[in-house]
Amino acid sequence: MIYQHQIEGGVTMQATASSTFNACATNPVDARLSEQRVAIRHLAVILDGNRRWAERCGLQSIDGYRAGGRNVHALLSWCSEADIPMVTLWPLSAENLSRDPEELQALLTVIADVFEELACTGRWHLRVIGDLSSLPPDVKRRIRNAECHTATVDGLDVNIAVGYSGRLELLHAIRTLIADHLLAGTVNTLQTDLSFESITSRLYTAGQPDPDLVIRTSGEQRLSNFMLWQCAFSEFYFTPVCWPDFRRTDFEEALTVYRSRHRRFGQ
C-alpha cells in the first residue's frame, strides 16, 4: 500500500508498505502475536535536516545541531520503552567532513557534547562506528572517553556513526581480511575463504543484527552511503519532518508502518 504522511501546511510524504495495514484489528492476542513477528531488534536513524530546520526558524546552523542533539535523548527513551534493544544514529558522514571548517567545528562540538551527556545518564551502552582519524584530537578524545565510560552499562546498545561511510567500511573490512590472511600465511586460501561471513565479521557492526528499520528525516529518500552492506533487507521509512521536530507521534507512526509490512527477505 501507499502510506501518506501529512504535516502542517498540507505537505504530503509517501512511504510504500509491502502489505496492507489492518487498522480495524480488534483481537489483542492477534495484535500481540503480530507485533512479535515484526519485532525490531535494530533501529537505524539518519538524523537529517538540522540545518534546514534552523534556516526555517531564522536561526544559525549551530542552533539546529543543538536542537537535534537534544532530541537524541528523547529518541533513545522511546526506543527503550518500545523494547528496541539496539539503535544506530548517524549524525556525521565522512563526506560531511568537507563542510565549512567553522560549521564543522560547531557540529563536532555538539556531537562530543551529546556523547558525554548520554554517557553521564548511565542508561546507554555507547559505541562509536566510523573513521575518527580525521577528527580534531580533542573531539576524538571526548568521544572515546564517553564510549569507555559506558563499557559496562547494561542498557540499550547505541551505535553513533561519526565520520562514517558505508563504502569505506567495506574497504576496511576487505583490507582487514587480507591482512589477517597475510599474518596467518594463508593468502593462497583467500579466494576460497571469501564469504558473506568473512566480510560481515570484519564490519564495524560485527556481531550485531542488521537494521530491521531505517528512518530518515527531512524528506530525503536515499541511503547516502549509509550501512550499504547491513541494509540489504532493511525496511525504510522516510518522513518530511526535520530531525529537531521529530516527535514521539512521528516515531510511533514509523513503527506502525513497519509493523504493517510483510518482510520477505527476497523469498
What is the per-residue pLDDT for 262? 86
Residue type, position 139, single letter: V
230 to 38, 178, 194, 214, 241: CA distances (angstroms) = 18, 21, 17, 11, 25
Burial class (CB in 10 A: 0-12, 13-18, 19+), 157: middle
Tens-digit pLDDT profile for residues 193-249 = 899 999 999 999 999 999 999 999 999 999 999 999 999 999 999 999 999 999 999
Catalytic site residues?
48, 96
What is the per-residue pLDDT for 264? 81
Tens-digit pLDDT profile for residues 68-77 = 999 999 999 9
Give the other-Cβ count within 10 Å of 82's Cβ. Answer: 14
Nearest to 5 by CA among 219, 179, 150: 219
Confidence class for position 123, pLDDT limits 50, 70, 90: very high
* Statement: residue 8 has pLDDT above 90: no
Confidence class for position 2, pLDDT limits 50, 70, 90: very low
Angle between helices 101-121 and 61-81 (to 10 degrees): 30
Give the other-Cβ count within 10 Å of 200's Cβ. Answer: 16
* Statement: residue 30 has pLDDT above 80: no
CA distance 256 to 21: 8
Q: Give mean pLDDT, residues 108-122.
A: 97
Confidence class for position 3, pLDDT limits 50, 70, 90: very low
What's the whole-number average pLDDT of the chain?
89
What is the per-residue pLDDT for 187? 93
In this structure, the strands spanning 2-6 and 12-16 are antiparallel
**Using alpha carbons only, how large is the chain's radius of gyration in Å?**
20
CA distance 50 to 254: 19
pTM: 0.85
Tens-digit pLDDT profile for residues 126-137 = 999 999 999 999
* Statement: residue 24 has pLDDT above 60: no
